[in-house]
Structure 1
C-alpha cells in the first residue's frame, strides 16, 4: 500500500508543475498581448497623430551692423554679450573730414545763391541795354530820314548819305545782339524763383548730404538685442558695408525643425507644436505653431548641392526645414539662444490646414525707426543760408 501511495504522489507532482508553468506562460502571453494592444491603441490614438524630431534648432535674426560713411573708429561703446537698445550709438567715427565737408557745402550754397542772384540782376541790365540799342536805332533812322531829301537835291554828298545808312545798319545789328543776349540770360532764370533754381536746389541737396554724413559718423543700433559678434577695433578704417558687429534680438526667435520627407505628409501650416530644449529639459515646454515649410530640402540649398546623376548613387533620406513660431510670452519668461538644440513635436490630428503658406500680405514683417534722421533740421539750415545770401 505504501508503495502505491508513493507512486501516485510522485506522478501528481510533475502534473502540478506543468500546470503552474502553463499558467505562468499564459499570464506572460496575456501580458504581451495586452501590451501589444495597449501599444497599438497608444500608437493609433496618440503617436499616429503627431510627428516628432530632435533635429531641430533655435533660429533668429542676426542683424549685421555696418557704417554708411567712410572713417576711422574713435569709440566703441558696446562689446559682446552686452544688451543694447535701438537707437543707441555703438561706434563713433572720426568726424573731422565730415565737418569740413559740411562747412564747404555751406559756403558753396551761399556762393551759388549769390551767383544766381547776380544772374537775376543781369536780366534787368540786359533789358536796359536792349532799350538803349533801340533808342540808338531810332536816332540813326531819324538821321537817315533827314539826310535822304537833302541828298536828292545834292545838298549833302552821297558819302554822308552812305554813312547814315551804315549807322542804321550798325544800330540794327547791335539791337539784335543785345536782344539775343537778353533772351539767353532770361532763359536761365525765367519761370522760377531764385530759391527754387535748379543750381540752388542742387547745392542745397549737397548741404543736406554733408549734414547726413556728419550724423552718420555715429553708427546706431537698428534694433534692440545682444551684441553677438564684434569685428571692429579702435583705429580701424571702415568703409560703407563693412561688417562691424552683429546684434541678435532675442525676442525674434523661432525653431527650424528638420523633418524627414516621409514625415511631412500630415504636417500643415497652423498646427500646434510643443518644443523642449536641452537647455531647460522637460521642465520647460514651449508652445508654438507651424509657420511654414521650406521650398526645398536642406541639401538643395547647401553650398555644394548633391550631384545624384553619377554612377555611384546612394539614396539618402532628405529633410525639409519646418519653421515653428514660438510664443513671445514663453520666450520672454525663458530666454533662448540661437543654435540651441530642441525636440519638436507637431500635433497632426487636425489636417485641414495648407501645406504651403499663404501669399504675402501687404504688411511689414520687420521695421525700425532708429536709423531715421531729422532731415528737417538740415533743410532749415539750408533755407537760412539762402535767406541770408538773398538779403540786400
Structure 2
C-alpha cells in the first residue's frame, strides 16, 4: 500500500503544471484575440473619431444697458426670470426727460411763430417796395417839370436842386426796401413753413426729447432669461453701466477645445455627438462642425505666451471648434451656458473645408424691440406747426 502511494505522489505536480500551462495558454490567446479585436476596431472605427471633454456650452449673452442716463425708480425682473421681446425690464425717473420734452415743444412753437413772422415781413417788404417805386416815380415827374420851369427861369436854382435831391432820395429808399426784401427772402426763400430750416431743427430737437422720454423705459431686445442682474432701485446709471444680461435658451452651441494633434482630418460639416454632464448618457445631442477658430486660446488670452524666451517648453495647444446643436433637441432638453460636455467628431469624411469659403449673407441676429415708431411725435409736431403757423 505504501509502495503504491509513493508511485502516485510524483504524478500530482505534473498534472497541476499541465493544467496551469493550459490556463495560461488560453488566457494568452484571449488577450491576443482581444488585442487583435481592439486593433481592428481602432483601425476601422476608433481612429476616425476625435474626442474631447474640454468642451463647454456657449450662447449669446445680450448685455442690457440704458440708452439715457437717470435714476432707477423701478426694477421689474430678477435673475432666472423669463422675459419676452419688448417687456419693460426697469424704469428710470422721467422727470428730467419730461421737462426737456416740454421745453422742446415750446421752442418749436416759438420757432414756428418767428418763421411765420419772417414770411409776413416778406409781404410787408413787397408793399414797401411798391410804395417806394411810387414815391420815386412822383419825384422824377416833379423833377422833370421843374427842369422845364428852370429853363424858363420860372423857378429858382435852389428849388430845382431840391427836386433833384428828392429823386436821389427816392431811389435810395427804393434800394433800401429792395435789400430788406432780399435779406428776408434769403431767410425763407420759397420754402413752405413746415420745411423751414429753423422749424426742422426745432422739430428734430423735439423728436430727440421724445425719444429720450421713451427710453426711460428699458426693454428686453429678445426673448430669454435674465442673468447677472446688478442694477438696484435708486442707482444713478449712465449709458455705459451694465445692468443685466438676457440669455436666450435657443441658438446654443458647444465650443470644443481639441488638441492641435486631433485637427488634421477635421472639417466643416462633419457630424458630431455631444453628451452633457447635466443629462449624462441618457441624452446624446446630434450636431455638426460649423467652424474652426482662427487662433488658440492662449493666442487670444490677456497675457499671451512669450515663446521667444530661453526657457521655452513646448505645450500642446488647443483650438476651439464650434459644434452646432440640433435646435429640437435643445428645446426638449435645455442646456445652460458653461455646462461641461463630451464631444466626439466623426472625421471619416475629410473632403470638407477647414475654413469657410464664402461670407455669411444677411443678419445673424436682429431685433426691432428698440426701434420706436415716430408717428406719435410727428403728429404732435404737425399739430404745433398748424396751431402756431397762422
State whether TM-score is above 0.5: yes
Q: Write out per-residue CA displacement over residues 247-305 of structure 1, whole angstroms, 9 at most, x where no aligned residue.
A: 11121211100000010111111111111111111111111111111110000000000
CA distance in 2, matches of 1:227, 1:3: 94
Deviation, 1:167, is 1.0
1:362 aligns with 2:366: no
1:386 aligns with 2:385: yes
Deviation, 1:21, is 3.5
Structure 2 residue matching 1:388: 3-state secondary structure = helix
Where do residues 325-340 of structure 1 align in structure 2 (5 Å cutoff)? 325-340=324-339
Deviation, 1:153, is 2.5
Aligned to 1:130: 129
The number of residue pairs the alignment matches comes to: 390
CA distance in 2, matches of 1:51, 1:327: 20
Deviation, 1:185, is 0.8
Structure 1 residue matching 2:282: 3-state secondary structure = strand
Aligned to 1:149: 148
1:87 aligns with 2:48: no
- Consecutive unaligned residues of structure 1, counting only runs of 5 or more, are none
Aligned to 1:60: 59
Structure 1 residue matching 2:188: 3-state secondary structure = coil
Where do residues 7-46 of structure 1 align in structure 2 (5 Å cutoff)? 16-46=15-45
Moved more, 363-372 or 257-266: 363-372
Structure 1 residue matching 2:323: 3-state secondary structure = strand
Deviation, 1:19, is 3.7
Where do residues 171-210 of structure 1 align in structure 2 (5 Å cutoff)? 171-210=170-209
Q: Write out per-residue CA displacement over residues 129-183 of structure 1, whole angstroms, 9 at most, x where no aligned residue.
A: 1111111111111111011122122221111111111111111111111111111
Moved more, 42-51 or 351-360: 351-360
CA distance in 1, matches of 2:103, 2:200: 16
Moved more, 215-224 or 4-13: 4-13
Q: Write out per-residue CA displacement over residues 337-369 of structure 1, whole angstroms, 9 at most, x where no aligned residue.
A: 111111100111122111112422321111112
Deviation, 1:384, is 1.3
Structure 2 residue matching 1:230: 3-state secondary structure = coil
Structure 2 residue matching 1:282: 3-state secondary structure = helix
CA distance in 2, matches of 1:129, 1:78: 68
Moved more, 350-359 or 70-79: 350-359
Aligned to 2:160: 161
CA distance in 1, matches of 2:386, 2:154: 65
Deviation, 1:390, is 2.1
Structure 2 residue matching 1:44: 3-state secondary structure = helix
Aligned to 1:371: 370
Aligned to 1:285: 284
Aligned to 1:301: 300
1:109 aligns with 2:108: yes
CA distance in 1, matches of 2:382, 2:41: 78
1:244 aligns with 2:243: yes
Aligned to 2:265: 266
CA distance in 1, matches of 2:361, 2:267: 23
Aligned to 1:49: 48
Aligned to 2:315: 316
Aligned to 1:232: 231
Aligned to 2:73: 74
Deviation, 1:11, is 6.3
Q: Write out per-residue CA displacement over residues 44-90 of structure 1, whole angstroms, 9 at most, x where no aligned residue.
A: 12211110000001111111111111111100000112111111001
CA distance in 1, matches of 2:238, 2:87: 20
Deviant stretches of 4+, over 4 Å: 2-18
Deviation, 1:335, is 1.1
CA distance in 2, matches of 1:375, 1:147: 70
Structure 2 residue matching 1:291: 3-state secondary structure = strand
CA distance in 2, matches of 1:67, 1:177: 56
Aligned to 2:119: 120
Deviation, 1:379, is 0.7
CA distance in 1, matches of 2:218, 2:194: 34
CA distance in 2, matches of 1:256, 1:38: 33
CA distance in 2, matches of 1:175, 1:185: 15
Deviation, 1:23, is 2.5
